[in-house]
Amino acid sequence: MTPPITSQKHIVVSPEGGIKITEHFDQINGRTRAGKNGKQVMCPVCQCKNRVYHFSWSSMTCTSCKSDVEKEKWLVDQLDTWRTPR
């Protein structure tokens, strides 16, 4: 069994040499907020994606692999941003 992943990046290199990061997942931390549109989270075990609308839970069972994953182990989409208006 492979250990759970702790982050994931998806980088696209264009033929012209440009590099674009299309996905960037990191572990949930205390500053992670779902925002009004929710956040995409990735299961660190099977890497399937789920959308959550709040983080007021301590662990969640993956709908795909049925692993009971602690909140801190889930990976949150860093590019799926929602910013608080200043």
Question: In this chain, which of 65, 68, 72, 82 binds Zn ion, going by CB under 5 A?
Answer: 65
The verdict on 12 binding Zn ion (CB under 5 A) reads no
The verdict on 62 binding Zn ion (CB under 5 A) reads yes
Angle, CA 71 vertex, CA 70 and CA 73 arms, to 5°: 70
Q: Which letter, b or e, does each residue of 60-75 get, where b requires 16 or more Cβ atoms within 10 Å of its Cβ?
A: bebeeeeeebebebbb
Nearer to Zn ion, 35 or 40 (CB): 40
For binding to Zn ion (CB under 5 A), which residues are involved? 43, 45-46, 62, 64-65
